[in-house]
Structure 1
Amino acid sequence: MPPEPLVGMLALPHEFILLGIGGLILVAAWLPVLIKRLPLSLPIIFIALGFLLSFTPWLRTSQTAMTHDPTLEHLNEIIVLIALMGAGLRLDRPFGWRRWRSTWLLLLVVMPLTMIAIFVAARWGLGFSIAAAILTASALAPTDPVLAADVQTGPPREGEDGETRFGLTSEAGLNDGLAFPFVLLALAVQAGTLDWVHWSALQLAGDLAVGTLIGWLLGAGAGYLMFRLPSAKLSETGDGLVAIGVTFMAYALSVLIHGNGFIAVFVAALTIRSTCPDDEFHTAMSDFSGQIERVLMAMVMLLFGWAIGRGLLSALDWRGAAIAVALVFVIRPLTTLVAFHWSGAPVMSRHLMGFFGIRGIGTFFYLQYAFNRADFAERHAIWAVAGATILLSIVVHGMTATPLMAKADARRERRLARESGG
């Protein structure tokens, strides 16, 4: 039986719905100022509000519908895409194989090791099928570009923010694209239609190549229209909405020709950012993307809190809880220390990049995408483990991001001051 549609879920008059949406937008805009120096984050507050909402009769739907509704799948997809564009626009460091060494270590060493560890834990610790274990690993391995704003780089044109913020931002920009082929692998295994040559050559390597090409071409074209067109440049509008247009075009065009849309969006953002990098329009696009992302994120966190109150974690046992704790406190930190052992990166940066492996909305999208296309017997258990991991990550990382990153930023400023003074 298909899940109950989102339309009509709210048992409130139309005017009250508008009142709630307006209040949500105002709170999402205001709260960052209020909690700027507090060990709190916007997601924590909206999860708490959503949890309280679950005890009211205002939202009338089942928890199953909330975790499988196609509308929510597309909502999470859009949030991730906007976050990827924003991440690419904020990176001031030019692309380069050596300059991006931290990124490659996080993507090519930390993420695969994390996936293997989660797969083993899910397969033999929880007794999942191979397909379910692959899905759990692919959904939980990548860090989230949406919920990691406090540990990522600042606005464009403000200079380097240090290795920690750069590494976490660039990793979050690319790892969604690398994780998605493994979601497709899980679906193929579940359906019994896996063809290793087709998956590795087309869905992995081929899709990545096509997505990269589309992102570069569209980014180069958009960059020309924004900054180099002889007359009527797009940047002269000052309208950051342009970034959203490029985001949707890059993703849709790439997916239509069987490319990796997540990679296409991030590569397009990097290509645009490299075009006239000192132009103020980069900041306008980044700011607008961030505003839209923040409002949509608040909505999803509200629904996440509601789902927790309605039993999202009811299938969680001590083994699933142990996996969630291990991922946040052991697996991600340990694999990062291993990957960066001979890297020469500052010790504090290694520890912070390992600790702030934030999980979030990307995981929601992967699971909704998979469960809307195949039936997994372990569906409730996977949601419970994923939900517990995300909740733990949001609370722990949300409460520690402000003080730890402030300490790291202060240490970096002192080091730069000593170097400039010498």
Structure 2
Amino acid sequence: MAWLPSISKKVKISYPIFLLLMGFGLYWLEIPITWPDHNSHNSEIMLLSEIIVVVSLMTAGLKIDISYARKNWKVPFRLIAIAMPLTMISIFFIGINLLSLSIPLAVLLAAVMAPTDPVLASEVQLKETYLDKDKDRRNLPEFTLTSEAGINDGLAFPFTYLGALLIKNNGIENFDWLNWFLDKFLLKIVIGIVAGFLMGWIIIKLQKYLKELFGIKTWDGLLAFSLAIATYSLTELIHGYGFLAVFITSLTLRNSYRIDNQYKKKLHSFIDEIERLLLVLWVVLFAGTIMSGFLSGLSWQTIAIAIGIVIILRPLCGLIALTGTRMSRKERFTISFFGVRGIGSLFYLSWAFVYLNDTSGSNELYTIVTLIVFCSIIIHGISAPFFFRKKLSDN
């Protein structure tokens, strides 16, 4: 992994594809690894996916050195407010009409496919050295894709809860919609946002007062990793959405004038290397699971649906959301096309079945979600170096 990013730039293929091939090879060589099986390893899939998403959200936030002013977030919020709901509604109807899923399972499928992935999409997001002062950063595809992934990974949770609760309720009849909205949607989101700001503020103040009062300071990159885990854990304990809190915390840290810029770079560098280490483990295990026959017996219709969601549905929803923005056509298309699906989707799906303590219907959902993630890795992995090999022009 230490050399893969450089190799990737040379051969113009994203490095997750190389990790997939590594996983295929390890499985073919019959390396004695316990490959994940959704029927018996939901909790293991959930834990590994959970920790890598937490780490990735901290990485993403530390890339964004831009203020919280509303105008700076207009474009990503369009994707959250328009593209994300449109995608979910479309996938819901696909699940009902083309995949013959029940309403609760279709809702769950739509929810877990809602977030764009901050991990597998790292090559199309902001780099830590992003310092282009000659261009309006609000309109750069890299900024938009980074901030979108950071926000929607937290906002997908209420809808995952909705799908799981509908399954538990055996349908929509007599379902308590008000409780879901007030508790799972409104309260947990607000707690997540507030907790994220507070954790960032506390660390900033702690850095200041420890240094001024006791002469204690740190330049240790480990702070980024420990802060990500602590923020996520504490927020979940107080009934908030931890993913959202981690992203807000990292944004607060990055945009504080009290933290030295060189230290911010070190924090980002450390957490970025942790993310890539965990990515190796996840993608290799994911590849082995595919090789074990998990996707065998797929119909051409299911394959076509998965590819269509990646190359038609998300781009179309994204273009609708970005209509009227002051961006070039190439920028709008690039942002719309690179709605990468990945680790977050499989986390949410495994979380739902752990929460339900029931695997009924899991095989159908795991198959289609795994196929969509696989298609996304291949399609976006091959096309990303082409789109991002140089800065996008306004032509």
One-letter amino acid of the counterpart of residue 265, structure 1: V
Q: Does the alignment pair 1:154 with 2:107?
A: no
Q: Structure 1 pair 248/105, CA: closer, same or farther in 2 (3 Å)?
A: same
From 237, 243, 254, the counterpart of 2:218: 237
Alignment partners' CA distance in 2, 1:233 and 1:127: 64
Q: Could you tell me whether the CA contact under 8 Å between 1:208 and 1:259 is conserved in 2?
A: yes
1:56 deviation in Å?
A: 3.3
Tell which deviates more after alignment, 368-377 or 265-274.
Answer: 368-377
Q: What whole-Å deviation, never above 9, does each CA across 1:117-136 have from its counterpart, x for those lacking one?
A: 11100111111111111111
- Decide whether the 8 Å contact of 2:38 with 2:366 is kept in 1: no
Shift of residue 314, structure 1, vs aligned partner: 2.2
2-side partners of 1:280 and 1:89: how far apart? 12
Which of residues 156, 159, 175 in structure 2 aligns to 1:182? Answer: 159
Number of equivalences: 384
Aligned pair 1:169/2:146, yes or no? yes
Tell me by how many angstroms 1:372 deviates. Answer: 2.0
Question: In the alignment, is residue 399 of structure 1 matched against residue 376 of structure 2?
Answer: no
Query: Structure 1: how far apart are the matches of 2:279 and 2:79?
Result: 25
Q: Give the structure 1 partner of residue 9 of structure 2.
A: 36
Q: Deviations over 1:311-354 (max 9, x none)?
A: 22125322321221111111111111111111222221110011
Give the CA deviation at 1:227. Answer: 4.9
Q: CA deviation at 1:239?
A: 1.1
Which residue in the other structure is 1:381 paired with? 364
2:280 counterpart of 1:280 = no
Q: 1:94 to 1:325 in 2, by over 3 A?
A: same
Aligned match of 1:372 in 332, 342, 354? 354
Q: What residue number does 1:16 align with?
A: none
2:31 paired residue number = 58
Task: Go from structure 1 to structure 2 and tell me whether the alpha carbon gap of 1:45 and 1:220 turns closer, same or farther (over 3 Å shift).
Answer: same
2:334 is aligned with 1:357: no
* 2:315 corresponds to: 333
Partner deviation per Cα, 1:291-323 (whole Å, 9 max, x = no partner)? 000010111100011000002212532232122
**Cα offset for 1:48?**
1.2
CA distance in 2, matches of 1:62, 1:155: 34
The 2-side partners of 1:163 and 1:144 are apart by 18
Q: Does 1:195 align with 2:203?
A: no
Match in the other structure for 2:207: 226
Give structure 2 stretches of 5+ with no counterpart: none
In 2, distance between residues paired with 1:62 and 1:298? 14
What is the letter of the counterpart of residue 293 of structure 2? G
Q: What is residue 86 of structure 1 aligned with on the other side?
A: 59
Alignment CA distance shift 1:44-1:62 (3 Å): closer
Match of 2:298 in 1: 316
Identity rate, percent: 35
CA RMSD of aligned residues (A): 2.0
Shift of residue 101, structure 1, vs aligned partner: 0.6
Which region of structure 1 is more displaced relative to structure 2, 366-375 or 168-177? 366-375
From the superposition, tell whether residues 232 and 357 of structure 1 become closer, same or farther in structure 2 (CA, over 3 Å).
farther
* CA displacement, residues 118-158 of structure 1 (integer Å, 9 cap, x when unaligned): 11001111111111111111111210000111110111563
Report what 2:109 is aligned to. 136
Give the counterpart letter for 1:180 in structure 2. Answer: F
With 208-217 and 96-105 compared, the bigger mean Cα shift is at 96-105
Report the Cα distance in structure 2 between the residues aligned to 1:60 and 1:163, rounded to whole angstroms. 42
Secondary structure of the residue aligned to 2:3 is: helix
Residue 230 of structure 2 is aligned with which of 226, 249, 253? 249
Following TM superposition, by how much is the alpha carbon of 1:256 offset from its aligned partner in structure 2, in angstroms?
0.6
- Structure 1: gaps spanning 5 or more residues: 1-27, 416-422
Q: Relative to 1, partners in 2 of residues 1:370 and 1:68: Cα closer, same or farther, differing over 3 Å?
A: farther
